[in-house]
A = this chain, B = another copy of it.
Amino acid sequence: MSTSSIQKRDDISIVLCGEAGQGIQTVEQILTRVLKLSGFNIIGTKEYMSRVRGGSNSTQIRVSSRNVSSAVDRIDILIPLDKKALQHVGKRISPDTVILGEKDEIVGENDNGDLTVIDVPFSQIASDIGGRVYSNTVATGVIAGLFKVDRADFLNYVTTFFSGEKETIIEKNREAAKKGYEIAQELIDSGAVDIDVKKDPGSARDILINGAEAVGIGAIAGGCNFISSYPMSPSTAVLVFLSRHAEEFDIVAEQAEDEISAINMALGAWYAGARAMVTTSGGGFALMEEAVGLAGMLESPVVIHLAQRPGPATGLPTRTEQGDLQLALYSGHGEFPRIIFAPGKLEDAVFLSSMAFNLADKCQIPVFILTDQYFMDSYYNMPSLPLSDTGIVKYVVKTDKRYKRYALTKNGISPRGVPGFGSGLVSVDSDEHDEEGHITEDLDLRVKMVDKRLAKLKEIEKDALPPELVGRGDYTTLIVGWGSTYHTIKEALGCLKRDDVSFLHFKQVFPLHRTTLSYLKKAKKVVAIEGNATAQFSHLINRQTGFNIQDKILKYSGLQFSVEEVVAQLEKLL
């Protein structure tokens, strides 16, 4: 048994693995909070099956002194909660992995002697306290202890966490936590484990949020006051977040009977002056497409959060993929402009979600926020949120008697009135219409109206956000990525240690910023990294810039890229 690897590390990857319903989430929630509160940087990510009980799920918590925010394959400490766990994460276990668990019960037959196991009789201890349900809290205590979290702080947090429960349950959980903490101290004292990740004094005061919260907070910051949606993993978390805060922020949050209803409600709400969004995933979004076209025709703003998961059809409902870019880009029949954002950092998600409402309102178009399961479920700590960069700009005008909803203007944008605000009437129409918003069969006007709608694309292009260059400006190889892979590729780039390789990340994927082509042309070699099977973003780049990316690293297993994987694939290519 060797612990040297862990001792040298300034970031530790802890993996909890067990069945759905076994309480991994409880362990995770307590641990991440207390670790952060005691000054560590925390990055949490997870992968799980589409079932409520059973199966094998895992959560990774990276505890680090560095500013990294991605998932790694490497497991430094594994806490297997059932027998299937070792199999489930099998490929990721190395001799350096410290397995904290019940040797007989859980590790058992899986061990050919090549595993580094620290036998902790979680269940036994828990049973002694009052039941196996407490074993998770024991495990929590062990980790807290190993990271030398202040004992009192830890126990206080446990008390707070269980404060909704009965007195005896709180007490037993405290006992379990204490017991775990003691075991850790024994392990440290005996030299079996010694962790020395440096604390970052700021972290304790940091904000800890996940992707879903980032989108939700951004939406509120952008003035969102209406969400209508139909549950669908992994997009539901945003509906849950805004529902929870609906009363506080005067938000109407309605679960619709289906996705079609959801988006048509949202369009109705915008028409009446609200700032509305929907949150959905691929299959649900497919049902919304007719109404995306309606938004195009009505020139209605709408914000669509599309959390991607592997398709086609139901596919892998709880997994991740970047497979719906083209779906969003070409959604809705007919031709009209749109904007597509794809946040890479949680901070981006806050900023972009808030921007989405302003831009939708300004340009009267659908604005997409493309995330995915990995992004929704990832969280890490950060000092602050970019709220100062945001701010609500409302474009609604007060109408007068002569108001015309579709007045022809040079940039294609007609001032948008809402019913009941001013003395004018507001008529919007899904048929081709005249300036007043009434059905027309005047085909010359039709052409003008198409031109008007498409003219807005120019306006939108002006506002396009530039891609972010990570690394030096004088690269010879350029890695291109978009959306949720930001941190992973960035960390992989760090591992590569090559000055000639840089990374260009797009958080706005449509329309592309005008500098895009010049970035690409500067490189001798361009490598696209995408979480899909057909390189959808590379196609989009080709379409928009004419640049053809030759080298691609694609993944479509349902799991996010790991840092190691990206490094290995890049090393092969470069």
- Where the two chains meet, the residues of A that have a C-beta atom closer than 8 Å to any C-beta of B are 49-50, 55, 260, 282-287, 289-290, 292-294, 296-298, 310-317, 319, 323-324, 326-327, 329-336, 430-432, 441, 443-444, 446-447, 450-451, 453-454, 532-534, 539, 542-543, 546, 548, 556-559
Nearest B residue to A444 by beta-carbon distance?
A: B557
Q: Which of B286, B294, B542, B559 touches A293 (beta carbons < 8 Å)?
A: B286
Interchain CB contact under 8 A, A283 and B287: no
Docked-complex contact A296 and B313, CB < 8 angstroms: yes
Residue contact B432 to A333, C-beta cutoff 8 Å: no
- Complexed CA–CA distance, A441 and B49 (Å): 7
Whether B316 pairs with A334 at a CB distance below 8 angstroms is: no
Q: Is A333 a contact of B294 with CB atoms below 8 Å?
A: no
List the B residue with the shortest CB-CB distance to A284.
Answer: B290
Q: A312 contacts which chain B residues (CB < 8 A)?
A: 293-294, 296-297, 332-336, 453
Cβ of A543: which chain B residues have Cβ within 8 Å of it? 539, 542-543
- Look across to chain B and name the residue whose beta carbon is closest to the beta carbon of A332: B312
Chain B: CB-nearest residue to A316? B432
**CB-contact partner of A446 in B294, B323, B557, under 8 A:** B557
Given A329-B330, A454-B533; A432-B310 close (CB under 8 Å): yes
11 A-B contacts, Cβ less than 8 Å apart? A260-B287, A282-B333, A283-B293, A285-B333, A286-B332, A293-B312, A293-B313, A298-B313, A312-B333, A327-B330, A539-B543
CB-contact partner of A431 in B282, B314, B534, under 8 A: B314
Point out the residues of chain B lying under 8 angstroms from A454, CB to CB. Answer: 533-534
Instruction: Report whether B441 and A50 are in contact in the complex, using a CB–CB cutoff of 8 Å.
Output: yes
Task: Given A293-B312, A533-B454, answer yes or no on A286-B333 (Cβ-Cβ < 8 Å).
Answer: yes
Task: Give the one of A532, A548, A557, A559 with max B CB within 10 A.
Answer: A557
- Give the contacting residue for A556; candidates B289, B447, B533; CB below 8 A: B447
Could you say which residues of chain B place their CB within 8 Å of the CB of A546? 542, 548
User: Is A430 a contact of B324 with CB atoms below 8 Å?
Assistant: no
Chain B nearest CB, measured from A371 CB (Å): 14
Known contacts A287-B290, A313-B293, A450-B556: A330-B326 contact under CB 8 Å: yes
